[in-house]
Amino acid sequence: MQDALSGLKVLDLSRLLPGPFCSMLLADLGADVIKVEDPKGGDYFRWWTPKLGGNSGFHVVLNRNKRSLTLNLKSPEGKAIFEKLAADADVVLEGFRPGVMAKLGLDFESLEQINPRLVYCAISGYGADEILANKSGHDINYLARAGVLSYNGKDSPAVPGVQIADIGGGALLAAFSIMAALFARERLGRGQFLDISMTDGAFAWNCLRLGKFIADAKVPTPGDDFLNQGVACYNIYQTRDGRYMSLGALEPQFWKSFCQTAGRPQWITPLYFEPGAHQKELIESIAEFFRQKSLAQWVEHFKDADCCCEPLLNLDEAMDTELTRRRAMVVDLIHESWGAYKQLGIAPKFSLTPGSIKSHAPELGEHTRQILEQLGYSSAGIEELKGSGVV
C-alpha cells in the first residue's frame, strides 16, 4: 500500500521551526523531502541544546523521514545541482527573507522556467511584498503585530508557550496551501507561488474576537471575555497541592453538571455566563472550592461527570496518558548511535494511507552522495564537489 503522498518530491530549504514542521507533515505522509542545507553548518536548529546524540532534540523531532543534502547555493555548481533537482520536483519550500532567493537566481520566476508545474512556497514573517518584508522577527513579534498577544493572559498580555504564528500561522497554513496548489495543478497544469505570511496566518486566528469586535466595537483586552479567563465557567483553578484543574463548562448542560458534581447547586443561575462584577466573586468561590483537594482527588471526583473539567497536565504526564498511548502520539524508537528515544507521533489518522516514521532525522549531509548519484554524478565528480566546498 502506498503512502498518501508517495511520489511527491519536496526540496526544503527552510530552517528552524515553521518550514521544517510543514515539511515534516509532508514527509510523514510519504513525500520525499530533501532537506537542502549549507555545508558549513546546516539548519541552525541542529546545534541548539539539549542534544540527542550529536543533534538538537528540536532537529530530531522536526526532521524525521527526510534526506539531507549539503549544497552551497552561492556557487555556480551548487546552483546548477539545485536546478537539476528542481526540474522534476513538485514543491520548493523556503523560509528566507523575501528577495534572498531572487539574488541567487532561484526564485519562483526563475525556477518556473525550468519546471512550470512547480509549486513554490515561501514562508516569511510579514509577506513577500509588504512594507515590512525585510524586517526581522520571531513568533512573539508576529503575534504582537497581529493583535493576538493583546488579549492573551488574564491581567496583562502573556506570551503563549506554543509558537502560534510559527506553527499555526506558518507551517500548517503552508502545508494546507501546498496541497491545495497541487490539487489545482491537476486542473490547471501549472504550479504557482505561495506567499505565506506568519503575521497574516496569526491574524486569521483572531476570527472569533474579530467577529465579536465588528459586532460590539469593544477592543479586546486580557481577561475580558469568556474565552480568556474573563468568566468563571471557562478558567483554570489551583488545587491544594499547587497543581491546576481546567474548567470549560460554557454550555448550560455542562455548567449544571459541574455545579451538581461539585455540590454547589446555588451556582446554577443564568448569570454564570453573563459578564459583570459577579464573575469575580464566582471565580473566587470556585477557586476556594478547588483549593480544598489535591489534583488527584479532583480527577477522581470528576471522572464520571460530563462537565468539561480536566486536569492540567505537564508535558511528561501528557506524554504518558492512556489516550496518548492509544493514539500513538508518542512512539519509541531506537537509533543506531543515540540508542532508545521517544519521538512525536503522527497526528492525522488515515484509514487507508496512514503516515509512518520510516527514518530518523538525518545527519548533516547524510544523503548527499546518494542524491548526487541519483542525478548522475560519478564518485570522482562528487569528490571534486566536496573538495571545492560545493557540497
Would you please indicate which residues are annotated as catalytic (active-site) residues? 138, 166
C-alpha cell at 214: 465588528
Residues 6+ apart with CB under 8 A from 26: 5, 8, 10, 33, 91, 175, 178
Of 127, 98, 106, residue with least CA distance to 36: 106
What DSSP element (H or E) covers 113?
helix 108-114
In DSSP notation, 302-353 reads HTT--S-EEE---HHHHTTSHHHHHTT-EEEEEETTTEEEEEE---S--SSS
Cα separation, 149 vs 144, whole angstroms: 5
C-alpha cell at 77: 555548481
In terms of C-beta density within 10 A (0-12 exposed, 13-18 middle, 19 or more buried), how is residue 189 classed?
A: exposed
Q: Are 151 and 222 in contact (CB under 8 A)?
A: yes
SS3 222: coil
What DSSP element (H or E) covers 300?
helix 295-302
Q: What is the DSSP letter of 80?
A: H
What DSSP element (H or E) covers 18?
helix 18-28
SS3 41: coil
Residues 6+ apart with CB under 8 A from 155: 222, 223
